[in-house]
Chain A
Amino acid sequence: MDDFLAARSQMALSLGFHIVFSCIGMVMPFFMAVSHYKWLKTKDEVYKNLTKAWSKGVAIFFATGAVSGTMLSFELGLLWPKFMEHAGPIFGMPFSLEGTAFFIEAIALGFFLYGWNKLNKWFHWFTGMVVGVSGLASGILVVAANAWMNSPAGFDFVNGKYLNIDPIQAMFNKAWFSQALHMCLAAFTATGFAVAGVHALMVLRNQNKTFHLKAFKIAAVFACVGALLQPLSGDISAKDVAKRQPAKLAAMEALYKTEKPAPLLIGGIVNEKDKTVKGAIKIPGALSFLAHGDFKAEVKGLDKIPEDEHPPVAITHYAFQIMVGIGTLLAIISLMYFINLLRKKQLLEQPWLLKLFVFAIPLGYIALEAGWVVTEVGRQPWIIYGIMRTKDAVTPMPGISYSFYIFSAIYLSLSCIVIFLLYRQIKMVPVLYSKPNRNDHN
């Protein structure tokens, strides 16, 4: 494997791994806090058990997210030293704040996990909230740093030199808000659906129904609200990308030719050599509307962009289709869930709805990863959009493919172990927390 490709693959793998764990680690504390609050208010043992059960999951995910994040802070330099040499001082602001937020999160987690019966109960609850809030802040800050790569700001690029550096302006670049909003909603949606789905499965299997039903309801509300808001945030992102990174938008929609009005392509097979798309469903004018809010607007195609600045079209297009497709599906499931709630139907009488949630367990995360592929691959060939190319940033050290293989093996085995641990945690629920729910065991 060629070193440049290996470096890109290793970075993609590390981020793809980290993103799942950090999203779970930043969203689960909110579920925990809701359940914890209900325990403190209602004194219903089940909520206490649920909080404890979830907190074990959070501990596993947080630790894995933290070590993979530590890895990333080194990996940026190990793989892309030329990038970090110039970018570090410019986009470092969100990272230094993130360091603080992350630190606070780790301290609060120590309090929360070990604080049962040792702390004032409301202070204990508060530390759980701090875990969530600082986790969310970390997430937003890291995404702001990534947004800077898509929308460089806070410096003047003169004759290859980076002058008049302003880190605050760099942090509040044009893309930070739309990206951070989209990412946060995605984190809540994906984690919510994954957690709700697992508990729905247990309800369907007739195990500790009270426990799992309560868990399901908390997670499902977060998931469904997130899924319904996400299309709005997606719209903000699409309009923003159309303005700032026309090449990315063109790749997302495989729009090889500039068109006015431009149709929206759904699906289709991209042929990068012939620059054609076969078998896609075309909705006339829809892309013009999504990108510019006007059915007749012109949308820039790849023909207006120099060939050596084209991102890989097929990958970006497919990833975008997957993200939007799943997003739509999840929004529909959410709508059904809320309609069901409004009509005051008992969930237990609606096994089909629970089955839909079980089906959706992995979907949110698939969409989230696909979205990440869209934004990262769609930025290529640039590492700093319009300023520095990715291939100019890669480390001079040869043999990166070996480290890629090693890390693939590590991440793969870690993923397997974490899934195995969660499986065991869930399997042990009847043993660990069954006292108040004995009636559930028939």
Chain B
Amino acid sequence: MEYVVIAFLCLGILLYFLLGGADFGAGIIELFTSTKNRSRTRKTMYQAIGPVWEANHMWLIIAIVILFVGFPHIYTTMSVYLHIPLLIMLIGIIARGTAFVFRHYDAVKDDMQWLYNRIFRYSSFITPLFLGIIAGSVISGHIDTDAKDFLSAYVYSWLNWFSIAVGLFTVSLCGFLAAVYLIGETDSDHDKRRFIKKAEYMNISAVVFGAMVFIAAQFDNIPLIDWVFKNTVGLTAIILASLSLILLWYLLIKGKTQILRVLAGFQVTMILVAISYAHFPNFIRLKNGNAISLFETIGPEKTIYSLGLALLLGSVLILPFLGYLFYKFQKKEE
């Protein structure tokens, strides 16, 4: 059963990254859209993510519940040493979710829209930035459980070049996923071209920030290159990601939407695999050289058994229903 639980944890994180990420990305796209096109982008986006956005963010809840029930030591270590970035991320989640709903359900469309839009756009940027920072910090080895002073315990654990580079990389990937998704959601050729352009820019920025992640890793003494290139799975994943990059550009130019979505999702998945496979089953790397492993800190047997059962039962109920939701509200291609 422990493998079921771990599989669901990975699935939760992956789907949150893909679906929730695309969702954040839509706000990032809006942030980087010129004023004259904004209201149209907003409309397309609303039609595309309106029915599904709440469900997309449930994956975060699933992942966090698995962590605190099944791997409480990991959950609490993160909560204590990454308190500040978690808090900022939460503020971002609160601000973004409420602003998105408020701007749609405000019965009078007046100057308040200006405020909702501002909040929505900036929090769409800040939230994935800090999600990335948290993810980077977990594997960066900057978390110092022996720290004696405030700064090294609670600030330097996440405020370092590597984590920030991962944060910016995450933002670019989210924007990229959203742009690719939105291409298929619009009817006008003009908007389609606009989203293709956006996808290209976001892809370029992802490559740039991806390179920065490697540079920052060297700078911060993180053996990222070893993780990615010194094992077959990591290497295969990174090769597949690079190959799909070429294919992706070709499809972008052609404007093939469905297969493009799949490919973009595949590419991001491969990147996640490449970065994380090497330390599996370790989850958190600590400054003193130790690591907190999934297997070593897993909860008691009965807990894991019932958690796994609950997840399996839940997915029988959730997945068909969720699939139908996506199917029903997707814009049909003519």
Q: Which residues of A contact B307 (CB under 8 A)?
A: 92-93, 96, 167
Using a CB-CB cutoff of 8 Å, which residues 62-107 of chain B contact chain A?
A: 62, 64-66, 68-70, 72-73, 75-76, 78-80, 83, 86-87, 90-91, 93-95, 97-98, 100-102, 104-107
Instruction: Assess whether B310 is interfacial by the CB under 8 Å rule.
Output: yes
Distance in Å: Cβ of B98 to nearest Cβ of chain A:
6
Residues of B within 8 A of A (CB): 50-52, 54-55, 57-58, 60-62, 64-66, 68-70, 72-73, 75-76, 78-80, 83, 86-87, 90-91, 93-95, 97-98, 100-102, 104-108, 150, 153-154, 299-300, 302-303, 306-307, 310-311, 313-314, 317-318, 321-322, 325, 328-329
Residues of A within 8 A of B (CB): 56, 59-60, 62-64, 66-71, 73-78, 81-82, 84-86, 88-90, 92-93, 95-100, 102-104, 106-111, 113-115, 118-119, 165-168, 395-399, 403, 406, 410, 414, 417, 421, 424-425, 427-428, 432
Decide: A102 near B80, CB < 8 A? Known: A74-B86, A88-B299. no
The reply to whether B75 and A77 contact each other, CB–CB distance below 8 Å, is yes
Other-chain residue from A96, A98, A106, A398 in contact with B55 (beta carbon distance below 8 A): A106
The reply to whether B108 and A428 contact each other, CB–CB distance below 8 Å, is yes
Sample of 9 further A-B pairs with CB below 8 A, known A398-B150, A410-B94, A432-B107: A59-B101, A73-B68, A78-B83, A86-B72, A103-B61, A103-B314, A110-B51, A114-B51, A395-B83
Which residue of chain B has the shortest Cβ distance to A103 in the bound complex?
A: B58
The reply to whether A109 and B90 contact each other, CB–CB distance below 8 Å, is no
The reply to whether A111 and B299 contact each other, CB–CB distance below 8 Å, is no
Q: Which residues of A contact B104 (CB under 8 A)?
A: 59
Q: Which residues of B contact A425 (CB under 8 A)?
A: 105, 107
Report how far A63 CA is from B300 CA in the complex, Å.
34
The reply to whether A63 and B97 contact each other, CB–CB distance below 8 Å, is yes
Report how far A60 CA is from B51 CA in the complex, Å.
14
The reply to whether B91 and A84 contact each other, CB–CB distance below 8 Å, is no
Decide: A66 near B57, CB < 8 A? Known: A81-B79, A93-B310, A110-B51. yes
Distance in Å: Cβ of B260 to nearest Cβ of chain A:
24
Decide: A104 near B318, CB < 8 A? Known: A62-B54, A73-B65, A74-B79. yes
Q: Which residues of A contact B93 (CB under 8 A)?
A: 67, 70-71
Q: Which residues of B contact A406 (CB under 8 A)?
A: 91
- 16 intermolecular pairs with C-beta atoms under 8 Å apart: A56-B107, A63-B100, A77-B75, A81-B79, A84-B72, A84-B75, A84-B76, A89-B70, A96-B66, A102-B61, A103-B62, A104-B318, A114-B50, A395-B80, A395-B83, A414-B94
Which residue of chain A has the shortest Cβ distance to B5 in the bound complex?
A: A96
Which residue of chain B has the shortest Cβ distance to A425 in the bound complex?
A: B107
Q: Which residues of A contact B70 (CB under 8 A)?
A: 89, 92
Which residue of chain B has the shortest Cβ distance to A64 in the bound complex?
A: B98
Q: Which residues of B contact A104 (CB under 8 A)?
A: 317-318, 321
Distance in Å: Cβ of B157 to nearest Cβ of chain A:
11
Distance in Å: Cβ of B135 to nearest Cβ of chain A:
15
The reply to whether A110 and B55 contact each other, CB–CB distance below 8 Å, is yes
The reply to whether B76 and A70 contact each other, CB–CB distance below 8 Å, is no
Decide: A102 near B328, CB < 8 A? Known: A88-B72, A92-B69, A110-B51. no
